[in-house]
Amino acid sequence: MDRTSGLFSPALEAVSRDEMRSRFDAQIKKTLRHAYENAPAVKALMDSRNISPSDIKSLDDLHLIPVTPKAELVRMQAENPPFGGLLAVPLSKIRRIFRSPGPISDPQGIDEGWGWEEGLFACGFRPGDVAVNTFSYHMTPAGMMFDDSLGRLECAVIPTGIGDREAQIEILRSYSVTGYVGMASFLLQIGQKAIEMGLDPQKDLCLKAAFSTAEPLPDSLRNSVQDMFGLILRQGYGTADCGCLAYECNLRGGMHLTTRAYVEIVDPLTGKPMPNGETGEVVVTLFNEAYPLIRFGTGDLSAIDESSCGCKRTSPKLRGWLGRADQLVKVKGMFIHPGLVQKAMAEFPDFQKFRAVVTREDNRDYLTLKIETAAPPEKSVVEALKKRLRDHLKIGCEVFACAPDSLPSDSKILDDQRQWD
């Protein structure tokens, strides 16, 4: 079976960038008009800024509407329960209501899914697969989300939820399960348990495709799981409120943006879109009829890569989860984040302990990377470090070698020492 090529929906995923943009323009206008007319909170927000739906003529005008951060959604729902005035259909058109920590309530419209089927197909799931879904089916939406999407992809689902690894292994064997949905770290634990039980995960189980989300997926974890089971492991990115927002294809190198929502990367302080390629907050406009979130601020950081991919999908790629927006520090006019420093330093395993320190003198910002090392590093290593940091952070920095055990013992990676009057 070919699990590495083809598209779930060529008519949506392989259109030209121009066509994709004109579709988004049309969907934004339709969604905004519907939300303005039916969701009182959207009308109130737009009226407060003197914006009417006719002012938003294309994606270029969308930034006129302020971002609604997740914390604001919690407040709106608490003050005006249960949905904060954001529900845009009568309750008779609601299929399910989920409740996530916050607390936050997410209604699901009748026949409205979460769009993971594109990502599951890109991962290698095919009609006729039997899949275990190890996400929880209670209260929060993850279990139902993937159940729904696997069904749309014509895969049979075994709703195992998380829990007892031996029971999971028994089910994987009894039903010749070929697909796994859940966290990669849990699949690794299942494999370790199978080996403990004297089984060979490649010969005694027949998993072929695994889709992971809800946790970072470092290469070490991905490689361990792929080698252990002899399967394809790919990841997706989404939220409980929005469903699927991006997913990896077979070629990896970032996650293709979904066609079911418009995803922007914005400056978390101003809400304005960031220039291409720069890191900022992931903001989503969801083309849902029941719960049309407009410029919803996820609080997650990422960047968009516009380069084309060899897989025929034309949507740009999200660089993956780069941290939380509330951990951002603005240095020399650029946002930097501990996660970016960590990513750059992952390529220099000789330096296990490091800290990026931000200082300010004469109204100028300085970034210094302090590394603990027993012997002074070679000049070429220092230059390579500076280059990788510049690639990731987009600003220059100095490197300062210090003796072992001289950096503070907390695990802080980015230390902003600037004093503001």
State the minimum distance, in angstroms, from the CB of residue 118 to Zn ion: 11
In terms of CB distance, is 32 or 257 closer to Zn ion?
257
Q: How far is the CB of 261 from Zn ion (least distance, A)?
A: 18
Question: Phi, psi (5° rounding) for residue 214?
Answer: 75, 5
Residue 273 is classified by DSSP as B
Cβ atoms within 10 A of the Cβ of 227, count?
Answer: 12
Question: Tokens 């492991």 sit at which residue?
Answer: 233
The 10 Å Cβ neighbour count of residue 110 is 12
Both tokens assigned to 315:
């949507």
DSSP 274-289: PPTT--EEEEEEE--S
Between residues 255 and 290, which has the closer beta carbon with respect to Zn ion?
Answer: 255
DSSP state of 179: E
- The smaller minimum CB distance to Zn ion, of residues 301 and 309, is found at 309
Is the preceding omega at residue 377 within 30 degrees of 0, hence cis? no
**CA distance linking residue 386 with residue 379, whole number of Å:** 11
Nearer to Zn ion (CB atom), residue 314 or residue 368: 314
Please identify, among the stretches 89-97, 263-271, 305-313, 404-412, the one whose residues bind Zn ion according to the rule CB under 5 A: 305-313
Q: Which of residues 183-222 bind Zn ion (CB under 5 A)?
A: none
The distance of closest approach from Cβ of residue 5 to Zn ion in the complex, given in angstroms and rounded to an integer, is 11
Site for Zn ion in 239-278 (CB under 5 A): 249, 251
Among 42, 157, 303, 311, binds Zn ion (CB under 5 A): 311
Instruction: Compare residues 311 and 325 and give the one whose CB is closer to Zn ion.
Output: 311
CB of 237 to Zn ion, least distance (A): 15
Q: Which is nearer to Zn ion, 210 or 318 (CB)?
A: 318
Strands 296-302, 304-305: parallel, antiparallel or unpaired by DSSP?
unpaired
| Shortest Cβ 119–Zn ion spacing (Å) | 11
- Which of 249/344 has CB closer to Zn ion? 249
CB of 395 to Zn ion, least distance (A): 30
Closest C-alpha among 375, 348, 365, 374 to residue 417: 365
Count interface residues toward Zn ion (CB under 5 A). 5
Of 374, 381, 379, 383, nearest in space to 402 by CA? 374
Minimum Å gap between C-beta 408 and Zn ion is 42
Q: Applying CB under 5 A, which of residues 172, 255, 303, 309 lies at the interface with Zn ion?
A: 309
Provide, rounded to whole angstroms, the least separation between the CB of residue 218 and Zn ion. 20
| 295 closest CA partner among 269, 323, 261 | 261
Is 313 among the residues that bind Zn ion (CB under 5 A)?
yes
Distance CA 243, CA 42 (A): 20
Nearer Cβ to Zn ion (249/399): 249
Half-sphere exposure of 131 (CA within 13 A, CB side): 34
Taking CB under 5 A as the rule, does residue 45 contact Zn ion?
Answer: no
Residues in touch with Zn ion (CB under 5 A):
249, 251, 309, 311, 313
